[in-house]
Amino acid sequence: MANRLNKKTTRRLRLAFIGVLILLIIPAIQVLLIRFINPPATMPMILRSIHSRFDSSMTHANKFQWVSIRNVPESFLTCVWQSEDRHFLEHFGFDWEEIQNAREEAKATGKLARGASTMTQQCARSLFLWQSRSWLRKGMEAYYTVLLELLLPKKRIFELYINVIELGDGIYGLEAASHHYYGIAAISMTKEESAMLVAIMPNPKQWDPNKPGERVLRRQKVILERGGNVALPERLHN
Reported as a single tens digit per residue, the pLDDT across 153-186 is: 999 999 999 999 999 999 999 999 999 999 999 9
Q: How many domains does the chain have?
A: 1
CATH number, domain with residue 92: 1.10.3810.10
Range of the domain at 191: 64-233
Residue 152 inside a domain? The answer is yes
Domain membership flag for residue 14: no
Let me know if residue 3 belongs to a domain. Answer: no
* Overall residue count recorded for the chain in this entry: 238
Mean pLDDT of 66-72: 95
The pLDDT of residue 106 is 66
Is residue 223 pLDDT above 90, yes or no? yes
Residue 103 within any structural domain of the chain: yes
Does a structural domain hold residue 25? no
- Give the pLDDT mean for 13-41: 86
55 domain-assigned: no
81 belongs to a structural domain = yes
Residue 21 lies in a domain: no
